[in-house]
Amino acid sequence: MTQSNAPSSSGNDRPAVLITGAGKRIGAAIARHFGENGWHVVIHCHHSHGAAETLAGALPSAETVRCDLAQSGAGVKMIEELATRLPDWRVLINSASIFPPDDVTGLSSKVFAETMQVNAKAPVRMAQAFLRCARAATGRRVIQITDQKVANPNPDFFSYTMSKHALAATVPMMGMAAGSDDRVYAIAPGAILPSHDQTADEAESSHRMNLLHRRTAPQEIADTALFLASGVLDSGQTVFVDSGQHLVPQPRDVLYLAREDSA
């Protein structure tokens, strides 16, 4: 783990949250929301180093840490090192993931192995280390970011979907084993931000392919994460934040459905 910049405040008088993959996209929205609500935010990044440092500099109390979750053990080492110096570390949010395109007609061993490592194995092992090592004034919360595909799968992004199913399966199990004051949750987002080479028009169309025909905003994920940090829900639960997308069976990923509709 590389600590990229010194905290913009000592953070000793604030509860701490670590958000993985928080340099950009949904992770950044979550980090910004926690920072604006009085938390010391630890922003994990790998490639998005510059964006992470810019975000940290804009928050009242924040720092960045950098490691490659594709490297076995790197995430656990990061957790263990942070646990030695964060006095009130209450929340771990595993938002980092990779989204390589593949499908059920073929499985690349390399793509599968890396996707399962980053999207399933690393967040589970990090959650275990966090619940074992972190010091918190109140109960600790793990929030795993999964996907509405865990309830509404389709053949596209095969390795990604398998990895999110695997991660989702651990949430109720870890919730049962967590301490009485600790909680393990999942948030399952729908299509929110453009993926791969999507154009703005394609995103506008595909992201409305849900029960409410509306775009779900990143802020809705951030609001849900902050709510779950309070620990008022029973452990092991998944909250779908997708405007009802998981209730609409879809034969393909909405990225491709939007292109088929416009063809």
- Residue 50 tokens, joined: 């510059």
Tell me the C-alpha to C-alpha distance, in Å, between residue 105 and each of 101, 115, 259.
12, 17, 20
- Residue 101 tokens, joined: 């395109």
pLDDT digits (tens, 9 = 90+) for 38-64: 999 999 999 889 999 999 999 999 999
CA 9 to chain centre: 25
Q: Look-up: residue for tokens 């999207």?
A: 119
Higher pLDDT, 260 or 217: 217
Residue 9 — pLDDT band, cuts 50, 70, 90? Answer: very low
Which positions ≥6 away from 50 have C-beta within 8 Å? 23
Tell me the C-alpha to C-alpha distance, in Å, between residue 117 and each of 2, 38, 172.
20, 32, 20
Average per-residue pLDDT for the chain: 94
Cβ–Cβ under 8 Å, residues 148 and 127: no
DSSP structural state of residue 156: B
- Residue 261 tokens, joined: 């509709």
* Residue 187: its H or E element: strand 183-189
pTM: 0.95
Single-letter code of the amino acid located at 25: R
pLDDT score of 8 more than 80 = no
pLDDT digits (tens, 9 = 90+) for 149-166: 999 999 999 999 999 999
The per-residue pLDDT for 259 is: 85
Q: In the predicted model, what is the mean pLDDT of residues 79-101? A: 97
pLDDT score of 74 more than 60 = yes
Spatial separation of the C-alpha atoms in residues 9 and 56, rounded to whole Å: 10
The per-residue pLDDT for 10 is: 47
Closest CA relative to residue 123, chosen from 195, 81, 179, 186: 186
Closest CA relative to residue 143, chosen from 95, 75, 74: 95
Question: How many C-beta atoms surround the C-beta of residue 178 within 10 A?
Answer: 19
Alpha-carbon dihedral angle through residues 41, 72, 218, 258, given to the nearest 10 degrees: 170
CATH assignment of 2-262, among 3.40.50.450, 3.40.50.720, 3.90.180.10, 3.90.220.20: 3.40.50.720
